Amino acid sequence: MPPMPPITKAFMLACVGMFCVQLLLPFAFLDLLLALWPLGSGQFWPWQVVTYAFLHGGVVHLFFNMLGLWMFGSEIERLWGSRRYLQFLVASVLAAAAAQLVFTQLIGSVTPTVGASGALFGLLLAFGMMFPNRTIIPLFPPIPMKAKVFVAVFGGLELLLGLQGGSGIAHFAHLGGMLGGFLMIRYWRGQAPFGRRR
């Protein structure tokens, strides 16, 4: 197993560290300050569009996000290098936050959002674009499939579940992370909707 690259390792350690702090502090203090609160909640602050990604709602939430970061993020970081990888993570996190803020504003929700899932779904899309024919076996269901199929299935499920609503999961943040990652790759390639790079 190759060593974990530095940005992926730092992101994972920060998420685990923040989760431990969440467990120690009473009255969900970090959630009030750092979670992504809807614009109409009276609790929103600009820094939350980044800090929400370091908080998690439970051990299972943290475990699956960290597993995904390790599985997909490590290889993408080795391919792109730390600087471009960090830019991509930030784009995915910000796009996920923007999508979630728009969605919660439309439905009038005052529930906060936490988790690195937006970044993870951006990385998932990047993996599918960089290694479209790589065969992977997801945990659920454990069926071998090509990465591009896996990404398409997950994206479709997120859209379907998001439209159904009521699950308590930020499906549109996940889709926003994928969109942000897609646009970042298009920008690097000089493809529409961006102009040709010089």
Catalytic, 117? Answer yes
Name the packing angle between helices 59-68 and 117-130 (round to 10°). 30
Catalytic, 167? Answer no
Do 68 and 124 touch, CB atoms closer than 8 A? yes
| 116 burial via Cβ count (<10 Å: 0-12, 13-18, 19+) | buried
Distance between CA 45 and CA 47 in Å, rounded? 6
Cis omega (within 30 of 0) for bond into 193: yes
The three-class DSSP label of residue 177 is helix
Do 112 and 171 touch, CB atoms closer than 8 A? no
Do 147 and 110 touch, CB atoms closer than 8 A? no
Give the residues across from 136 on adjacent strands: 145
Distance between CA 11 and CA 14 in Å, rounded? 5
Q: Which of 56, 74, 117, 171 is catalytic?
A: 117
Conformation bin of residue 42: beta by default, left when phi > 0, alpha when psi is -120 to 50:
left
Which residues are catalytic, by number? 117, 174
